[in-house]
A and B are shown apart, each in its own frame.
Chain A
Amino acid sequence: MTNDAVAAQSASPTLDVRGLSVAFRRRNGLVRVVRDVDLTLGPGEVLGLVGESGSGKSILARAVLGTLPRQAEVLGGSIAFSGGDLMRMPPSQVRRLRGDRIAIVPQEPMTSLNPSLRIGRQLTEVLEVHRPEIRSKERSVRAVEMLDLVGVTYADERLAQYPHQLSGGLRQRVAIAMALICGRVELLIADEPTTALDVTIQAQILDLFVRLQKSQRMSVLLITHDLGVIAQTAQRVAVMYAGEIVEVADVNDLFASPRHPYTRGLLDSLPRSGRVARKSHLPSIEGSVPSPSAAVRDGCSFADRCAFRIAICDQQAPPLDSAGLGRSVRCHRWADLTAGFARRDALL
């Protein structure tokens, strides 16, 4: 574990999620999509949250923001942000934090800007709500400064433009400017911020992210299914599977020695220069994430897809075990598997 990450964790955390469970109301009852999640994010830390589509990442993010869809219901848990519990604050107070001290960069730049409002209006309205002391002329000046900061060219002309006149990359930059315009973001939630962009733009936006994160000293919860993005930006990683956190580790530790069979599978399915020569196929994890509406099974939720399944995996749900400094794993067999993986890697 790096010194940075240790320091980040020892200070009082920016975000501390404890035992959070979220369910969707369906005709046949409640379907749990986030299950007993613990997550800590220190000041200035970038935490990657990885998982396949449907693993509950985005719902977790929306629970933190307090903007869960209507059908979703929080079953329990707490979300501490800068000391206060977001779950127990009145909604109006949480709303005042949103866009000001907690901000989000959305997944889809093409659809997350309002098509009928000018870029300038969409930027200045954030200041209007959260920083009413700033006069309206200064708001536009600030909007131009923010656009400049995130690398939008011809910033002052953009204010009068509509989203459909901008490219996807530019729109994502505008969305980032929108998230940061109040200037006091402590927690930035980036929900797949580069997924919808093409590869060259992706790299530019990630660079921008890292630069801004450092200069603004904010904590970032980076949600993605792209391990490459995680390797480039995050310090710690939490792996989510079927609504549960299955592994948390420092980014270098995770890539060097994954402990959970699922994490292992994710890493194996990444193309790597050393491996391609030996295998003609890229390995993949058999099966898919269980549907949250499937009957809740006893035992480990990954058991059905796990190559290392033993009897206990079907009988008992594994707890989130501490597995070394700053690491935890939710697997009955992590200890003996780790030794096995080490031997296999040595052979490869």
Chain B
Amino acid sequence: MLSYALRRIVVFVPTLFITLTLIFVLTRMLPGSPVASLLGGQSVNAAKIEEVSRQFGFDRPILEQYLEWLPRILSGSLGQSLFFTKPVTEVLIQRLPVTLSLTVLALMVTIAVGIPLGILSAVKRGSFLDYLGNVLSSLGMALPPFWLGFVLILLVAVGLKLLPSSGYRPLEMGFWPWLSRMILPTIALSLSQIGLIVRMTRSTMLEVLDTEYVGMARAKGMPETVVIVRHALRNAMVQIITAVGLLFALGLGGSVIIEQVFALPGLGELITTAAIRRDYATLEGGILYLTLMALLVNLLVDLAYAYFNPRVRLA
């Protein structure tokens, strides 16, 4: 198991290298220069722009910049934010809990609602419940999360005045102040994910319930709950977990929009504004953090894979 985990981690090295290169290239491909945007409102002349460019090294050839940039990033130094005038790492650490709260909560809700609903739909296939699950999941997948966010704000926050409409309170300020501001964004983000996981779980379970070994478990006189959980679900888990891992990565992307809708000061919001301001260092750092989170979840998925599938573990 340990050697399997190590092998999975080694595989991440090229992935990380490619991701970093993409981050560098894509940020440099943005139209407009950071210097112009930094000097914005001021009346500037060409000499001033050139001076600032030289100061930050933007005038040097792109390859040279990259070769200087890559080792620096790898050593963990993300540089200085052009706008916050403090280290990028510091800015990111501040924003990280917001995005983590949103994505992890959404994932928890997705798992807690989606997987049981998918199992029930499969076990009681053709029933009213199956039909209801199907309608709900189609609806969830069809509605864009940002639109859902606005509707939730209108209905729950503005109309019923049950929950705050936006903003963020850190967990240190109390559980309820934190949670009350996370509920609506979490629902907005998780609803589309639930639809996907319900379908995935349902179809995988249907497949597994048809296998010989599930038939054998019934023939052995196992109670139906044991047949479904121990014999069917355990084998379906491999595929369900793969889907959950993908959803988390999608959720990170979705959080960028949801954070805008609910005015949550998270990584997504930071990345958007950094992109607009051509704040290269912050942009790169933010994307790097999101990428690392996605890679970490991928690793967890791979490990869970091995747990549920002995053929992977012992290979």
Contacts and interface: CB of A to CB of B under 8 A. Distances in A.
Contacts of A164: 310-311
A117 B230 contact: yes
Interface string B207-236: 000011101111111110010001100110
A116 B218 CA distance: 16
A115 B220 CA distance: 16
Given A106-B212, A111-B211, A125-B226, A116 B309 contact: yes
B58 interface: no
A130 B220 CA distance: 9
Interface string A238-271: 0000000000000000000000000000000000
Contact of B219 (A106, A129, A130): A106
A175 B308 CA distance: 22
A125 B216 contact: no
B314 interface: yes
A162 interface: yes
Given A98-B220, A129-B223, A114 B310 contact: no
A67 B215 contact: yes
A304 to B, nearest CB: 33
Contacts of A331: none
Nearest to A104: B219
A115 B222 contact: no
Contacts of B223: 95, 129
Contacts of B217: 114
A205 B217 CA distance: 22
Interface residues of B, number: 22
A98 B216 CA distance: 10
Nearest to B125: A70
B212 A115 contact: no
Interface in A116-138: 116-117, 125-126, 129-130
Contacts of B219: 65, 67, 98-99, 103-104, 106
Given A106-B212, A125-B226, A114 B231 contact: yes
A22 interface: no
Contacts of B218: 67, 95, 98
B121 to A, nearest CB: 15
Contacts of B310: 115-116, 162, 164
Contacts of A116: 234-235, 308-310
Contacts of A126: 220-221
Nearest to B215: A67
A310 to B, nearest CB: 43
Contacts of A16: none
Given A111-B213, A162-B311, 7 more contacts: A65-B219, A98-B221, A103-B220, A104-B219, A114-B217, A116-B310, A129-B220
Across chains A and B, which 7 residue pairs bring their CB atoms closest together, nearest first?
Answer: A99-B221, A98-B221, A99-B220, A111-B212, A162-B310, A114-B213, A112-B212
30 contacts: A65-B219, A95-B218, A95-B223, A98-B218, A98-B219, A98-B220, A104-B216, A106-B212, A106-B215, A106-B216, A111-B211, A111-B212, A112-B212, A113-B213, A114-B234, A115-B213, A115-B309, A116-B310, A117-B230, A117-B231, A117-B234, A125-B230, A126-B220, A126-B221, A129-B221, A129-B226, A130-B221, A162-B311, A164-B310, A175-B216
Interface of B: 211-213, 215-223, 226, 230-231, 234-235, 308-311, 314
